[in-house]
Structure 1
Amino acid sequence: MSSKKEREPRVERRLRSAIADRLGMTRRSVTLPRDFQGLARGEHLALIYCDGNKVGDFITTAVGHGVGPDTIAPAINNGTIDAVAEALVEMHREIPAMPIRAVPHILGGDDVQITVPASAAWAFTRHLLKSFSSRVPAEVGKDLAKGRGLPDISMSAGVVFFHRSTPMRDVLDLAEGQLRHAKQHVRGREASVAYLDIPADGQEAPPTRRPYRIDDLDKWSELLDEVASIPPAQRATLLDLVRSNRHTEARARARWAGHTCIDELESMEPAALDIRDQLEIARWWSQ
C-alpha cells in the first residue's frame, strides 16, 4: 500500500469549493463521504442519474450567438457542478436534519451520477433539475453581449432507491432505464424524472407509474409534504388497499382520518396525482 496521501479528484475538489462558497465556508471545512459507509446512517440510498436534454441544439445556438466553441464544454461542466452544489445546499436547507452528504460518481459536461441518502433524493433531484436550467445558460452566456440570450435548456433524471447491499451495476442499469423513460415522456423538451424503488417495486416499476415533470412535482410539493406526514402504518394500510384495487375504500379511510391532501392532489388541475402514486412517492419524501 502506498504511503502517499490519495489525491482528491479535481471534480470533487471543485464541487466542495462550490458548496463552500454558498455556505460562506472554506473548502477544507466541507467534507464529502468517500463511500456508502459514510453516506447515511440508514441502509437505504438513492442513485440519481441525470443527463441534459437537447444539449446539441443548445450548443449550436450558443455558437451562433457568438460563444466560442472551445469555451462551451468547460462552461457547461462548470454550470453543472454549480447546479449540483446548489442542489446539495438547498437539500440541506429544506431538510435541516440532513447534513450535506453525497457520493458523486460522475460529474462531467451535462452528465451527473450521484448517490445521496434515500430520504434526501426527492429534494436533491428537484433542486438539481431546476438549478441546471439556470446555471448552465448563465455560465455559457456570461460573456455574451446584453440581449444575446440563449435558449432554454433542461435536464432529466432517473432515480433508483436501493438497499446499500444491492449490486451497484444493477442499480446503475436500472437508473439508466429510468432516465430514458423520463426523457421519452417529455421528448427531451423539459425537466422530468422517473423513479424505481427497488425495495418496494423490485426490478420493475408498476405499469401505471409515469414519469413526472419537475414543474408538476413543485406544484404538488406542499400536499406531498402532508401525505408524507401521514403515519407510516396508515400509509401502508392505504397502499395495501390501493394495490388490491380497493381505491374507494382507501379514499374513504383517508377522508375519515382527515387526510384531505389525498383528495386535493387527485383533483388538482391541470395535473392530478393518483392516490397510489402519492403514497408510493411519500415513502421517501421528506417533509
Structure 2
Amino acid sequence: MHLVMIGTAGLQRYIFASGKRQQIVGASDLIARVDGEWADKALKEVFPGFDRDGWRIGTHDAELLVAGAGGVTVLVRDRQAGERLVTRLELLALEFAPGLDVCGVVVDYEEGSLASAVQEARRKLPTVRERRPGPSARFPRLPIVADCASDGLPAEGLHSEGEGEAARPESAVSRAKRVSHPGALSRMSAIAGTDRATMNEIVDHLGFRTEWVAVIHADGNGLGEVFGGLDGLGVADAPLPPGERDRRHAERLGALSRGVDGCAKRAFAAALRLTARELASGEAVRVLPLIIGGDDLTVVCEGEVALPFARHYLERFERMTKEDPLLRPVLARLDRDGLSAAAGVAIVKRNYPFHFAYELAEALTKEAKGVKGWGSALSFVSLFESSAPDLKRIRASVALSGGGGRSASPYLVGVGSGDARARGRRWQDVLEGVAALRRRDPASGEVLLPGGLVHELREGMCLGEEVAASRFELARRRFTGNAARTGALLALGQDGGLTWTDRTGPEERSVTRLLDVMAARPFVPEGPWRSEGGDA
C-alpha cells in the first residue's frame, strides 16, 4: 500500500502578495481549486471512474482520506499511480496558478501501519519541498524584463485596469489571480449565503470606500495533538487484524478532518448572522472568506465588524465541535469535550499593505494561543502607524517608555471565559469597558467619563504606574457620591485599580485593559452584546 500526501505551502503569502482586492480574492480561489476541482480532475485521470464518496481502498485502486486547505491525502494500491497523481496535480497548479507552491510525496507502508505512514508523510513533505527549487525560481530576471506593477515579478504582458487607463506590465501570477476573480466570487457567495453581485460589491467597498479594513486569522488549538492522538488510539486496536486497524484509522482521520472543516464553515455562517444582528445600521456584514479549510480561517472585512465577527466565530466553533456527529465519537475516544481556537485581528487603514496586515494578524493569533490551555481567545490591534508592524514593540511600547502596565491581551471568549485564570482578561471585560466610555447621564445626556479624563488616564499609563494610579484615584474621589460615574470608571480597570498583577505566566507582570478598551471603542457596535448562547 502507498499513501500520497500533497500540500500547498505559503497560502497567505501567495494571497497577500498583491494589495489589489481582485487579485487577493482570485488567489484564494486558486488555492481552493487544488483540493477541489484540480484534485478531482487529477484523480479521475489517473483512476478512471474515481468517486470521492464511494471509493474505498479495500475494493478500489484509490481512496481520498483528506481534502482541504490546498492539500489532499490519498491511499493508492500502485506506487507509480500515486507518483502520476502527484505529477498531474502539480502540473495543473503550475499551468493555472503559477507561483503557487504545490508539492507531494508518496510513502510506502505495510498493511496495518497506516498511522505510521501518515506521520512519516507529514515529516517528509517539508523536507522534499525544501530540496527542490521554490516558486521564485520559475521567474528568472534575465534577460531583463519589466516588473509587474502589482507584485513586482517579471511581466509577461500588459493589462489595462479599465477603459481609458494606460496598460501596465502584468506578471503571469497576477494574470492568473485576476482571471480567477469571477470564479472566486461564486465560491465566496456560496460560502457566505449570498450572490455574486453582493460579493462583488463587498470587494469594491473594501477596496475603495471603507476607511478601516481588518485581516482576521483564526486557527484551531492543539489540532496537531489531536491528530497525533489518533495514532495513540491505534495501540488499543493492536489486537485487530492489520486491515481492520488501517480501516479504523482511515475512518477516524477522515471523520476528524471533515468534522473540523464542516464546523469551521458553519461557524463562519453563524458568525455572519450573529454579527449582522449587532450592527445598528442594518447593513450586510462585509466579509471576504479567503480561506476556510480545516481549522484555518482567513478573512478580510470592514474594521467595524471585525471584533464581533471574530468573537462569534470562536464561540460558535467551540460549540459546534462539541455537537458535531463526526467529531464527537473521535474526540470522546481522545477524552476531549470539544475543540477551541485562537484568532488574531489586525485592523488597519484601507491602503495599508495587506501582507503586513496579515503578518500582524498571524502574530496576534500566536499571542492568543498563549492561553490555549484555558480555551478560545482573541488578540487584536488597531494600527494607526504606517510602518511595518512589530507586535512585540507594540505590546511593550508603554513599558519601554517608562510607563506601567502592559496589555492584558489575549482575551478569553466562550467556555474559557469562565476559567478563574481569565479574571480581568475576558472579552466581555473589554466590552464592558467600551460601554463605560459610551455611557451617558440619563438626565443631562452628557458622557459619564469625559474624553479629557480618559486621555489623562492613558497619558498616565505612559508616565508610569504610580502616575496612572494617582490619576485614577483622583478621578474616583472626584466622582464620590455619584454611583454611575464611579461604576463607569471602575469598569476600565480591575479590583478597584487601573492595573493589576497577572500571575498566570512564568513571571508576574502588571497589566491593564485601558489601552485595549480605547482601541476597541470605534470598532465595537453599540450594545448589548450577546452570544447565541445568551451570554451577555
TM class by shorter chain equals: 0.7 to 0.9
- Seen in structure 2, the aligned counterparts of structure 1 residues 30 and 191 have a Cα distance that, compared at 3 Å, is farther
- Seen in structure 2, the aligned counterparts of structure 1 residues 123 and 30 have a Cα distance that, compared at 3 Å, is farther
User: Which one of 318, 329, 338 corresponds to residue 133 of structure 1?
Assistant: 318
User: Which one of 274, 288, 303 corresponds to residue 90 of structure 1?
Assistant: 274
Counterpart of 2:221, as a letter, is N
The answer to whether 1:226 aligns with 2:448 is no
The answer to whether 1:213 aligns with 2:412 is yes
1:121 equivalent in structure 2: 306
Gaps of 5+ in 2: 1-158, 160-177, 235-247, 397-405, 418-425, 441-445, 461-466, 503-510, 527-536
RMSD between superposed Cα atoms in Å: 3.8
User: Which one of 31, 38, 43 corresponds to residue 198 of structure 2?
Assistant: 31
User: Which one of 262, 267, 273 corresponds to residue 489 of structure 2?
Assistant: 262
1:138 and 1:199 map into 2 onto residues whose CA distance is: 41
- Seen in structure 2, the aligned counterparts of structure 1 residues 133 and 199 have a Cα distance that, compared at 3 Å, is same
Shift in Å at residue 6 of structure 1? 2.7
1:49 equivalent in structure 2: 217
SS in 1 for 2:213: strand
Quick check: 2:345–2:381 contact (8 Å CA) kept in 1?
yes
2:352 and 2:459 map into 1 onto residues whose CA distance is: 28
1:80 and 1:224 map into 2 onto residues whose CA distance is: 29
User: Which one of 278, 281, 287 corresponds to residue 520 of structure 2?
Assistant: 281
1:71 equivalent in structure 2: 255
Quick check: 2:188–2:288 contact (8 Å CA) kept in 1?
no
Gaps of 5+ in 1: 18-26
Shift in Å at residue 142 of structure 1? 6.3
1:286 and 1:157 map into 2 onto residues whose CA distance is: 19
User: Which one of 360, 365, 368 corresponds to residue 179 of structure 1?
Assistant: 365
Counterpart of 1:173, as a letter, is E
2:303 and 2:450 map into 1 onto residues whose CA distance is: 18
Shift in Å at residue 85 of structure 1? 0.9
Shift in Å at residue 11 of structure 1? 5.2
Q: Which TM-score applies when normalising by structure 1?
A: 0.77
- Seen in structure 2, the aligned counterparts of structure 1 residues 268 and 135 have a Cα distance that, compared at 3 Å, is farther
Counterpart of 2:271, as a letter, is A
Shift in Å at residue 53 of structure 1? 0.2
Q: Give CA deviations for 1:57-87 in whole Å, capped at 9, x if unaligned.
A: 3345578497632232122111101101101
User: Which one of 457, 460, 472 corresponds to residue 242 of structure 1?
Assistant: 457
SS in 2 for 1:180: helix
1:12 equivalent in structure 2: 188
- Seen in structure 2, the aligned counterparts of structure 1 residues 35 and 169 have a Cα distance that, compared at 3 Å, is farther
Give the share of equivalent positions with the same residue, in percent. Answer: 19
Q: Give CA deviations for 1:153-187 in whole Å, capped at 9, x if unaligned.
A: 11101111100100101111111111111112x14
1:154 equivalent in structure 2: 340
Quick check: 2:260–2:327 contact (8 Å CA) kept in 1?
no
1 or 2 for the larger relative contact order (CA 8 Å, sep ≥6)? 1
SS in 2 for 1:281: helix
1:16 and 1:104 map into 2 onto residues whose CA distance is: 8
Larger Rg: 2
1:212 and 1:116 map into 2 onto residues whose CA distance is: 21
The answer to whether 1:196 aligns with 2:381 is yes
Q: Which TM-score applies when normalising by structure 2?
A: 0.44
SS in 1 for 2:216: strand
Shift in Å at residue 267 of structure 1? 3.3
2:185 and 2:328 map into 1 onto residues whose CA distance is: 28
- Higher mean displacement: 87-96 or 264-273: 264-273
1:151 and 1:39 map into 2 onto residues whose CA distance is: 38
- Seen in structure 2, the aligned counterparts of structure 1 residues 71 and 4 have a Cα distance that, compared at 3 Å, is closer
2:351 equivalent in structure 1: 165
Quick check: 1:72–1:140 contact (8 Å CA) kept in 2?
no
SS in 2 for 1:68: helix
- Higher mean displacement: 59-68 or 168-177: 59-68
SS in 1 for 2:183: coil
- Higher mean displacement: 27-36 or 160-169: 27-36
- Seen in structure 2, the aligned counterparts of structure 1 residues 29 and 114 have a Cα distance that, compared at 3 Å, is closer
Quick check: 1:79–1:135 contact (8 Å CA) kept in 2?
yes
- Seen in structure 2, the aligned counterparts of structure 1 residues 12 and 251 have a Cα distance that, compared at 3 Å, is farther
